[in-house]
Amino acid sequence: MFIGFDYGTANCSVAMMENGTPRLLPLEGNSPFIPSTLCAPTREAVSEYLWRHFNIKPTDQVGEQLLRRAVSFNREEGIDVEPGDLRFGRAALDTYLEDPEEVYYVKSPKSFLGATGLRDVQISFFEDLVCAMMANIKQQAEAETQQDILQTVIGRPVNFQGIGGDKANEQAESILTRAAKRAGFKDIIFQFEPVAAGLEYESTLEKDSTVLVVDIGGGTTDCSLIEMGPSWRNKEDRRASLLAHSGCRVGGNDLDIHLAFEQLMPMFGKDSTLQRGIAMPVTQFWNPIAINNVVAQSDFYASANRAVLEQLMRDASEPEKIARLLRVHRETLGYQIVRCAEELKISLSERDNAHIDLPIVQEVLSANVTSQQLADAIANPVAKVSELVNEALAQSATKPDAIFMTGGSARSPILRALLESTLPGVPIVAGDFFGSVTSGLARYAEKSFR
């Protein structure tokens, strides 16, 4: 059996074909979408859990070395890795929120794929993270279908990272391939996510059209200019229909991070000064919320940084704010701050003002944000999206007949207004914000594996 697999930055989903129509399969309760999150008692528990409870072994010496270190660490710490210790999706988030200091939590491992400067052991660990998530999703899908799922088409962005080029993309695709094989898939094909979304939209067209597909996901934004319609629908080789591609590592997570930085981090000391009137170092307020940056997270949560923060608090003109930042360091609360920013962003897609309460240990902080403040905060990532659209249009020198928007952040009125101003008069069609890519991948899988 085959499925389309959207291993997303924000959410994951899979779909099968049923009577010629994609059907998204439930992965967490009745929901077909499972947040791309994982929680474990320790970082090392992930690798041991794969081996001990999923019966998934390493496939190379680096992976074996990582597993041996993990088992040794957990044994020395007196930690028994039991069934159910590895949690995914909303269950992972709930576990993290209950006691952030006592668990290992990761959101959006896809954000790290293709990152430069990674050591072999880091790449192997990311492979374990992805493999664990894929194995869990495969198990849930097989429980629903009562069939072994051995073939899959996995979606991928045009570019996983903003830097690194082809080498970074090859590294990311290699991690996904090895993880999927270890999770039990035998035949694996990749398809660009915006192309997959376009295939789903194509199924609704009654005449041939040139469509600009803008897929604004959690970690990346991709633009594809595609010829589609009845005369293209049944062709297996669609290379001639792809007129242009552009993409980079900017997406919904970046909008959340920029909003958190501008509107929430001032409560933790951003924009404040030392007693001598010197501005606080900006990186101390960016790094804890840069959840898609391995180096930034490592630098902020390093034990050596605690002493730096303590000194900043002693020298601060508003020490109570830096005390909150210390709590963020101690309790690993960066994810919570970004999550609150995401809730603000979603609320502001429907109204002009939004309020959020942010619990920090025994204190509850409150913030009120307007749609204009959101627009100001995310101006930089929005400008990058604009560059991608213009790049795709320049590659083909063709004006589209329609714009098809998909991805969670496609709901943003700010991004919709951007496309309206870039291509005035071109109709904008909104697809299933979360399911279009998955459905398109299932349609492509049917053509590939039938």
Q: Residue 389's pLDDT is what?
A: 94
Report, as an integer, the average pLDDT of 126-138: 97
pLDDT in tens, 256-290: 999 999 999 999 999 999 999 999 999 999 999 99
Whether pLDDT at 164 is above 90: no
User: What tens digit of pLDDT does each residue of 188-208 get?
Assistant: 999 988 889 888 889 889 999
pLDDT of residue 10: 86
Quick one: average pLDDT of 293-298?
A: 86
Q: Per mean pLDDT, which range of 49-53, 93-97, 340-344, 370-374 is the poorest?
A: 93-97
Calculate mean pLDDT across residues 7-29.
Answer: 94
pLDDT > 60? residue 245? yes
Report whether pLDDT(100) > 90: no
Q: Quick one: pLDDT band at residue 298, thresholds 50, 70, 90?
A: confident
Mean local confidence (pLDDT), 56-64: 95
Give pLDDT, residue 163: 59
The pLDDT value given to residue 233: 84
Q: What is the pLDDT of residue 161?
A: 66
In the predicted structure, residue 238 carries a pLDDT above the cut 80: no
Considering the domain delimited by 2-185, tell me its CATH architecture.
Answer: 2-Layer Sandwich (3.30)
Residue 115 is predicted with a pLDDT of 80
Q: Which CATH number fits domain 207-251+381-431: 3.30.870.10, 3.30.420.40, 2.40.50.140, 1.10.3680.10?
A: 3.30.420.40
Among 129-143, 152-166, 279-293, 387-401, the range scoring the smallest mean pLDDT is 152-166
Task: Write out the residue limits of the CATH 3.30.420.40 domain(s) in the chain.
Answer: 2-185, 207-251+381-431
Handedness of CA 441, 442, 447, 448 (dihedral sign): positive
pLDDT in tens, 1-15: 999 999 998 899 999
Q: How confident is the model at residue 162 (pLDDT cuts 50, 70, 90)?
A: low
For residue 444, pLDDT over 60 is answered with yes
Q: Give the mean pLDDT of 68-72.
A: 96
CB 85 within 8 A of CB 52: no
pLDDT at res. 165: 77
Mean pLDDT across 236-249: 85
Percent of the chain residues topping a pLDDT of 90: 74
Answer whether 112's CB lies under 8 Å from 294's CB.
yes
| 23-27 average pLDDT score | 97
pLDDT of residue 194: 87
Mean pLDDT estimate for the chain = 92
